[in-house]
Amino acid sequence: MLRFTAIAAALLLALPAAARPLETAEAKTLDQALSAYLAAIEKGDATRIVGAIPPRILALFAAQSGMDVQKLEQTLAEQTRGLMAQSVFSDLSTDTAGADANDETLGDGTAVTWTVVPARFVVETGGKKTRNEQAMLALREGTSWYFIRIEGAAQSQMVSLAYPFLADASFPAATTAPAE
């Protein structure tokens, strides 16, 4: 009986955490953080846009590029500023209604709450407008929410390196269509 209990316990621990509805306070702080992030995009505030990238993702990028995190943040902000100068973003929205939270603990003991938020926006570049829909991964570490758009396999892989519990997660495919 003891052996069966140990095996059952090990199997239960191996199962992913069950999703749960966002608590009222979580939903409020997530909505506030999303509003600030979308406002930064509309204003072209590259520093705040880069500041919303999860620190573990930045650390991974920094390690892969051979830069320290501060230099990487400066470089990403400069690149983002350049891209934002060529583009106009409008009709930005996210939808957290019905979002479920997932709770995980990283190997170093850090508690992470995460959810996937649908994001929509129109971008005009070179006189052409496109409507974009994509999944945005929202991660809370400590009291801060961070965001990263998931646009394809490369980003999914990067996210799973920083957050191993997301290795088997699937994200809705991003779509782009002409906008009028």
Which residues, listed in sequence order, are joined to residue 144 by a DSSP beta bridge? 141
* Pairwise CA distance, residues 100 & 23, whole Å: 9
| Proportion of the chain in helix, strand, coil states, percent, rounded to 5 | 45, 30, 25
Residues of the chain with pLDDT under 70: 1-17
pTM score: 0.86
- Alpha-carbon distance 36 to 28, whole Å? 12
Q: How many residues make up the chain in this entry?
A: 180
Query: Residue 17's pLDDT is what?
Result: 54
Asked whether the beta carbons of 81 and 44 are under 8 A apart, the reply is yes
pLDDT at residue 93 in the model:
95
Give the per-residue pLDDT at 2.
Answer: 39
Rounded to whole angstroms, the Cα distance separating 11 from 30 reads 32
User: What pLDDT was estimated at residue 4?
Assistant: 31
pLDDT of residue 18: 80
